[in-house]
Amino acid sequence: MTTTSSSATLDAVTPAPPSSARTGYGSLWRGVPRELGFLLLTMPIAIVGLSVLLALFWLGVGTIVIYIGFFVLVATFYTARGFGVVELTRLDWAGRPSIPRPVWRKPGTPVSFWRGLISPFANGHYWLYLLHGAIVNPIVSIFSWTVTIVWTSIALGGLTGWIWQGFIPQGDRSFYLSSTIVDAVFRVNSTFDPVVGDRILEFLLGIVFAVTLPFVTRGLTVIHEAVARGLLGRWPSEELQREVADLSASRGAAVAAEDQALRRLERDLHDGPQQRLIRLQMDIAAAERKLSDDPEAAATLLAEARQQAGDTLEELRALSRGFAPPILQDRGLVAAAESLAARSPIPMTVESSLPAGERFSPEIERNAYYVLAELAANLAKHSGASSARLFLDRSVDDAGTPWLNVWLTDNGRGGASPVAGHGLRGLEERVRGLRGELVVDSPAGGPTRIGARIPLT
């Protein structure tokens, strides 16, 4: 952890980077309760879906000649969609990776009553959901439910049979599995107590089935996930269309952000250095006119001109520092963040979980620094805070995509929001142009937490 300056402890709770998922046999056992809950409910839900969907479908087909069947078929499609959504939700609860949902209605398409009635017949997803609910899911569910019940029963019965089997009357029982196996394998007449032998054999079977239970529940759940991903998930073509739409949106956001940044730079140059340079030019011209007649006045004007030149240089340095300061190029993002915190008029600490000396691409570092600089500027102008903390960390999401996370928290008055025409909106567009996201949590009265997640791809 790197600290640049002391500050009061903030009440804001900072986001912790997600820990990497644990793998191994222990993680399989941690998923058993959720997977068992999923599998045990699978067949009852599938049988209900089969009964309802087939009844509605054939009722609709049989009555379509009197037009009522058309509306019944529409209800069948929407009911199948409901059962499909239940299956996807249950898979999420079972701990499986989320399956991308289909695009039921293209963005911008007007919503109308007749479009809602006709669109299910033309949308292939509705037919696949009907196929899943009426045929495929019942078949898969009967198999997975049966295996789950049998495997769990053998595991529990074998491990606990020595407790309760003594209370069950044996009657004239003459077949014992343990003695039969020993006689067949070793070709001798067994002399041990067959009741005890069966208890030991059942206990060993219970251990084997209990040890392998996590693999069975995980495998059966994965089978349901694969079926749902193929029939209930979004199509690759839709993924491509969404990717193209996201790229277009991020490109537009990047162009808008750059345009806003250039306009801001133009305004700052016009209001600051340009006016100072005009004043400097006028002072030098006046000094030239007075140089021969009034050397002392000329010297005074030249001294003022020198001061104007120094102020202009400092203002230009401040403007350039907001884009790509030399320390960012030489020592990286963490060092640049520490320098930014050291210059902040509000006491600010920097906390980083990034490895020492870690560097990112110039584009990532430059944009991440721009985000931090803009947040620090807003902090000084609008927050009313007495202390702040700045966080940098790196995380990996469930899809394996690495992200750079930068957060700023303060104990100010709160109320910040990305309103159109304000700095946070431009910041949001810049981050969205990088295919990242800006998170603003700033309730009235504070504290404020603003962070950006930028993909490192």
Residue 47: predicted pLDDT: 94
Domain count, the chain: 3
Domain boundary among 255, 287, 321: 321
- Token pair 């700052």: residue: 268
Same domain, yes or no, for 174 and 289?
no
Output the six-digit token pair for 450.
């603003």
If asked whether residues 421 and 339 sit together in one domain, one would say: yes
Domain boundary among 288, 321, 354: 321
Is 18 part of a structural domain of the chain?
no
C-beta neighbour count of 264 within 10 angstroms: 14
Give the pLDDT score at 259. Answer: 58
Q: Does 405 reside within a domain?
A: yes
Residue 144 domain-assigned (yes or no): yes
Q: Is residue 46 domain-shared with residue 93, that is, in the same domain?
A: yes
- What is the pLDDT, as a whole number, of residue 19? 37
Most confident of 267-281, 344-358, 409-423: 344-358
Can you give the CATH number for the domain in which 255 is found? Answer: 1.20.5
pLDDT top residue among 261 and 287 = 287
Residue 430 to residue 364: CA distance in whole angstroms: 12
Q: What is the pLDDT of residue 163?
A: 81
pLDDT tens figures, 298-335: 777 777 777 767 666 666 665 555 555 667 777 888 88
Shared-domain flag, residues 77 and 201: yes
21 located within any domain:
no
Domain co-membership, 92 together with 118: yes
Pair 303, 330 in one domain: no
Asked if 283 and 198 sit in the same domain, the reply is: no
- Expressed as residue numbers, the domain containing 272 is 247-321
Q: Return the C-alpha torsion angle 216, 218, 223, 225, nearest 10.
A: 160
**pLDDT at 16 (0 to 100):** 40
- pLDDT > 90 in the chain, percent: 25
**402, 298: one domain:** no
Could you say which of 202, 234, 266 is where a domain stops? 234
Q: What pLDDT sits at residue 328?
A: 75
Taking residues 416-444, what's their average pLDDT?
Answer: 74
Together in a domain, 217 and 297: no
* pLDDT tens-digit series, residues 124-178: 899 999 999 999 999 999 999 999 999 999 999 888 877 877 777 766 666 666 6
Q: What is the pLDDT of residue 218?
A: 94
Give one DSSP letter per residue of 223-253, joined into a string. HHHHHHHHHTS--HHHHHHHHHHHHHHHHHH
- When pLDDT is cut at 50, 70 and 90, the band that residue 110 belongs to is low
Please name which of 373, 289, 260 lies closest in space to residue 327, comparing C-alpha atoms: 373
Name the pTM for this structure.
0.54
Beta strands at 402-410 and 448-455: parallel, antiparallel or unpaired: antiparallel
H helices present in 102-136, as ranges: 113-122, 124-131
Please indicate, yes or no, if residue 4 is contained in any of the structural domains.
no
Per-residue pLDDT at 304: 75
What percentage of the chain exceeds 70 in pLDDT?
72
Tell me, yes or no, whether 152 and 198 share the same domain.
yes
